[in-house]
């Protein structure tokens, strides 16, 4: 039997019953919202996206969504402080189209990264995290520079556990611990410099979604195509998609591969030497 938005709405309502929450269904936008009755703070999900994941993974996808929603609502209903929790502040990578303020109008602290990505800052709460907004900084007398400095330091302390796969003479290294900051490893410049020095070919990086980062030792032209296919696949599957584009790391800068490929003469690629 075909799964419809109405049927999925009912399935989610059964899973998310709570005396202090209320749910609404927007038929025009095909969305389902769960929020706290007293504050109106909540989370909205797009039902066609939920249906797609349900059809691909079944009840496991709904279990994961239920956990995510419950944790998000819990965090929204609590007040958190930054002071004394410096070790729990981390940068998170988001798409360039990600909002720069909350639905409640609070401006989120963020930094520019690439044309495709932006860096936000989060207070880790164990099972989840809260994005830091300007109001939190002002309440505690923090500056954006302090948040960036603390988060960058903590990002460098994140462990890196990579699995290697070799395809057509190109080596691909996957890191995915699902700690919420897998993609944030792209901000560890010391790691990127180490990989750049160690790799035989070009260092390409992909952050298709929050919970994975791919480092590619591209040694021939096929490597770029394979990485592009991997990035697109992961991007489509991610709970928090970032970008399907991959980046080349050169001279301590990240640039989308399709742009650099136009600028760079083929004769300079290591596989052509």
DSSP conformation letters of 163-229: EEEEETTEEEEEE---SS-TGGGGG-HHHHHHHHHH-SSEEEEE--BTT-EEEEEE-SHHHHHHHHH
- Half-sphere exposure (Cβ direction) of 129: Cα atoms closer than 13 Å: 20
pLDDT digits (tens, 9 = 90+) for 77-113: 766 778 888 999 999 999 999 999 987 788 999 999 9
Residue 46 lies in a domain: yes
- Nearest-Å Rg of the Cα atoms of the chain is 21
* Same domain for 199 and 263: yes
CA quadruple 238, 244, 245, 248: dihedral positive or negative?
A: positive
* Same domain for 225 and 124: no
Contact 244, 232 (CB under 8 A): yes
* Same domain for 176 and 248: yes
1-5, 25-29, 217-221: segment of lowest average pLDDT: 1-5
Q: Extract the tokens encoding 237.
A: 């599957």
Our count of domains for the chain comes to 3
Mean pLDDT, rounded, of the chain = 88
Distance of CA 47 to the CA centre of its chain: 20
What is the per-residue burial (b if ≥16 Cβ within 10 Å, else e) of 65-97?
beebbbebbebbeeeeebeeeeebbbbbbbeee
pLDDT digits (tens, 9 = 90+) for 149-204: 999 999 999 999 999 999 999 999 999 999 989 999 999 999 999 999 999 999 99
Neighbours of 24 (CB within 10 A): 12
* Same domain for 145 and 188: no
Residue 67 lies in a domain: yes
- pTM of the model as a whole: 0.72
* Same domain for 182 and 133: no
* Same domain for 52 and 35: yes
Bridge-based pairing state of the strands 202-206 and 21-26: unpaired
What is the per-residue burial (b if ≥16 Cβ within 10 Å, else e) of 140-164?
eebeeeebbebbbebbeebeeeeee
* Same domain for 152 and 187: no
pLDDT digits (tens, 9 = 90+) for 261-273: 444 444 434 444 4
Residue 244 sits in which domain range? 162-272
Residue 81 lies in a domain: no
* Same domain for 179 and 152: no
* Same domain for 148 and 64: no
Look at residue 206 in the predicted model and tell me its pLDDT.
97
Look at residue 74 in the predicted model and tell me its pLDDT.
79
Residue 235 lies in a domain: yes
pLDDT digits (tens, 9 = 90+) for 56-71: 889 998 998 888 888 7
């Amino acid at each position: 039997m075909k799964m419809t938005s109405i049927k999925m709405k009912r399935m989610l309502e059964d899973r998310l019953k709570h005396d202090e929450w209320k749910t609404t269904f927007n038929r025009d936008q095909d969305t389902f919202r769960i929020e706290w009755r007293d504050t109106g703070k909540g989370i909205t999900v797009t039902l066609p996206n939920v249906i797609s994941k349900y059809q691909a993974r079944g009840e496991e996808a709904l279990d994961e969504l239920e956990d995510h929603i419950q944790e998000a609502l819990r965090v929204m209903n609590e007040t958190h402080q930054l002071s004394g929790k410096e070790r729990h502040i981390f940068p998170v990578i988001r798409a360039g189209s990600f909002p720069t303020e909350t639905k409640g109008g609070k401006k989120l602290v963020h930094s520019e990264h690439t044309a495709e990505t932006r860096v936000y800052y989060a207070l880790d709460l164990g099972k989840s995290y809260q994005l830091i907004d300007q109001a939190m900084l002002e309440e505690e007398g923090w500056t954006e520079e302090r948040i960036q400095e603390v988060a960058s330091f903590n990002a460098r302390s994140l462990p890196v556990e990579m699995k290697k796969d070799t395809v057509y003479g190109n080596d691909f290294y996957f890191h995915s611990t699902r700690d919420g900051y897998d993609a944030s490893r792209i901000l560890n410049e010391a790691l990127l410099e180490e990989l750049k020095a160690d790799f035989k070919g070009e260092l390409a990086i992909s952050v298709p979604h929050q919970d994975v980062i791919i480092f590619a030792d591209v040694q021939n032209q096929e490597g770029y195509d394979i990485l592009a296919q991997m990035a697109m696949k992961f991007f489509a599957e991610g709970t928090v998609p970032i970008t399907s584009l991959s980046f080349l790391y050169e001279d301590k800068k990240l640039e989308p591969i399709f742009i650099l490929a136009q600028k760079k003469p083929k004769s300079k690629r290591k596989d052509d030497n």
